[in-house]
Structure 1
Amino acid sequence: MSVQTDPLEDVLTLVGTTSHLSVGLVAGGRWAVSFEPPLGVKFNAVRRGHCVLTVDGVPEPIELAEGDCFLLTQPRAFTLASEVGVRPVPAGPVFAAATDGVARVGAGEDVVFIGGRFGFGERAQGLLLDVLPPVIHVPGRTAEATTVRWALEQIDAELRERPLASTLVTEHLALVMLIHLLRLHLVVARPGETSGWLAGLTDPIVAPALRAVHARPAHAWTVSQLAEVAAVSRSTLAARFKQVVGQGPLEYLTGWRIELAADRLRRGDETVAAIAREVGYGSESTLSNAFKRITGTSPRDYRRWTTV
């Protein structure tokens, strides 16, 4: 039984990922800028020079070289500086004084940044952000980061030249960059740096079962069938899935079905009975019972509260 699908694409689509580029930053000399906890997921890329990133709750500063990117996945205060120990100025006044789309701090143009943020729908915290570390640092001078470098170069060109529809182009390029940053993180992450379904994507036993669930969520999967997809025994899959993802395969299947049902309730006007059939429940009452058990509310109440 061969099944191919992409859980990462499924989740990013479901949580409604958007991007917004901010004013650029140019810095020189001895400088430091402190930022309040951002809304959404903050990203910055060093287009020229090098600096130091410190993040609240992260014990060690992170050295950023030319071409490096970072994602701040949690709303934590952070500081960018020429070196550790420089007293920072708040970012608000610096960016309020920006001209021609560029904010400046310090003396000179030693360091140039592109930055922005990614926004997500209401389910992003539980589905995506909670399974990522607070900071993802991707070095730019590696072979794996080639596409990230390409996206940054294109964004840079769009911002400099401002051709027609440049804002839309840069936002789409930023989403391309986000996907590649997440891919790279999965490749280089150390044990414990990802959790849940995201950790399962790189596990040779769990990943085939995850892809099967996402490819056919309405199928009446059994642990034995998923084990067959993964080419392991039932007991091996059950134990490994629980260890890596933090829940059993059928528990994960139920959770994903409820996420799909919730998405349909938010976005459309299908009947609850029709949604139940689409996500793998034989009746409206069966879906309603599972939905209330997982979310604490009925599908009808959920639709009313989320579409007002």
Structure 2
Amino acid sequence: MDPLEDVLTLIGVNGHLSASMAAGGRWGLRFNPLDGVKFNALRRGRCLLTVEGLAAPIELATGDCFLLTRPVPFVLASDADTALEPADPVFAAAGPDGVARAGTGDEVALIGGRFSFHQRARALLLDGLPPVIHVPAATAEAGAVHWAIDRIADEVRHTRIGSTLVAEHLAVVMLIQVLRFHLATAATPGSGWLAGLADPVVGPTLRAMHADPAARWTVESLAGAAAVSRSTLAARFRDLIGKAPLDYLTGWRIELAAARIRRGDGTLAAIARDVGYGSESALSVAFKRVTGTSPSRYRSEAS
């Protein structure tokens, strides 16, 4: 399996659509930090996105999309020096049509929402990403994002059989398109798990471990999968992922075990065997070292 598919399946990503928004004239909304990952698509008009911690605002035009990967305050506004009002009351006052309104007129139209993940998702997927991923309208990914948002809005609006499940899957499609755009266009590869996935040395190593996490991997055998020396693999892996290859493997095995424990899928002995540990006690030691709690306690807290 593709490691990105692995991780997106494991972290349980869900999409949540918020009210649409219309704005005109001079307007500005201040948004509080949201748990998870925020997304918006600009259907019509132009506006400025200002994110806490970024040196300059981002100009958004019709068809642009953006993803906020950190729970930080941000502002959407007609211009840089307009007065701001809190966004929450504006969205709480959305009319029967589900549209929140700011300023006067409707020259600007946005639709958006957020992605939520299981608690342990950030280190797996989000660490190493920039605070904002801006997808300009001219890219193929922006078209795919808008297509997915259209379908999500339609499913939520009509609440047909299976609408929630369809909307959640469409949200994953949208997220993958944005991540693809980032990997294809980032000026520098940066660091983190996604950067490693695109790297010619670390990428094959990750794919090998994800294809068979229970195998008796060594640094030498992983280096063979990447066709490099052990020292080259160790240095490159640590530079991008921030840990040694076998430490990453341990963490991934524990993530797989934790997911099965949450689902109640099998005995601890069976889980231990399937993720690469020779015994339940060996899994328990590794599990507590990584998560800070025992498998049995984790199971009771997850139930």
Q: Which TM class, normalised by the smaller chain length?
A: over 0.9
Deviation at 1:167, TM superposition (A): 4.8
The equivalent position to 2:277 in structure 1, one of 275, 278, 281, is 281
Residue identity matched to 2:11: V
Residue identity matched to 1:236: T
| Equivalent residue number for residue 117 of structure 1 | 114
Q: Distance in 1 between matches of 2:139 and 2:261?
A: 43
Q: Distance in 2 between matches of 1:190 and 1:33?
A: 31
Give 5+ residue unaligned stretches, structure 2.
none
Q: Distance in 1 between matches of 2:281 and 2:222?
A: 26
The equivalent position to 2:184 in structure 1, one of 184, 187, 190, is 187
Deviation at 1:301, TM superposition (A): 1.7
Deviation at 1:175, TM superposition (A): 2.4
Given that residues 26 and 78 in structure 2 are in contact (C-alpha distance below 8 angstroms), is that contact kept between their aligned partners in structure 1? Answer: yes
| Equivalent residue number for residue 35 of structure 2 | 39
Deviation at 1:26, TM superposition (A): 0.4
| Equivalent residue number for residue 103 of structure 1 | 100
Given that residues 42 and 116 in structure 1 are in contact (C-alpha distance below 8 angstroms), is that contact kept between their aligned partners in structure 2? Answer: yes
1:261 aligns with 2:257: yes
The equivalent position to 2:148 in structure 1, one of 147, 151, 174, is 151
Q: Distance in 2 between matches of 1:249 and 1:39?
A: 30
Given that residues 21 and 171 in structure 1 are in contact (C-alpha distance below 8 angstroms), is that contact kept between their aligned partners in structure 2? Answer: no
1:176 aligns with 2:196: no
How many residues of Structure 1 are paired with residues of Structure 2 in the alignment? 301
SS at match of 1:87: coil
Given that residues 65 and 142 in structure 2 are in contact (C-alpha distance below 8 angstroms), is that contact kept between their aligned partners in structure 1? Answer: no
Give 5+ residue unaligned stretches, structure 1.
none
Given that residues 292 and 299 in structure 1 are in contact (C-alpha distance below 8 angstroms), is that contact kept between their aligned partners in structure 2? Answer: yes
Given that residues 152 and 167 in structure 2 are in contact (C-alpha distance below 8 angstroms), is that contact kept between their aligned partners in structure 1? Answer: yes
The two structures have a TM-score, normalised by structure 2, of: 0.93
Deviation at 1:11, TM superposition (A): 1.0
Q: Distance in 1 between matches of 2:85 and 2:142?
A: 32
The equivalent position to 2:49 in structure 1, one of 25, 38, 53, is 53
SS at match of 1:221: coil
SS at match of 1:236: helix
Given that residues 64 and 136 in structure 2 are in contact (C-alpha distance below 8 angstroms), is that contact kept between their aligned partners in structure 1? Answer: yes
Query: 30-39 or 19-28, which moves further after superposition?
Result: 30-39
Given that residues 70 and 135 in structure 1 are in contact (C-alpha distance below 8 angstroms), is that contact kept between their aligned partners in structure 2? Answer: yes
| Equivalent residue number for residue 136 of structure 1 | 133
**Cα RMSD (Å) of the superposition?**
1.9
Given that residues 25 and 113 in structure 1 are in contact (C-alpha distance below 8 angstroms), is that contact kept between their aligned partners in structure 2? Answer: yes
Residue identity matched to 2:245: P
The two structures have a TM-score, normalised by structure 1, of: 0.91
Q: Distance in 2 between matches of 1:302 and 1:190?
A: 41
Identity level (%): 63
Q: Could you list the per-position Cα deviations for residues 22-63 of structure 1 after superposition, in whole angstroms to 9, with x for gaps in the alignment?
A: 110001111111111112211110011111001112221111
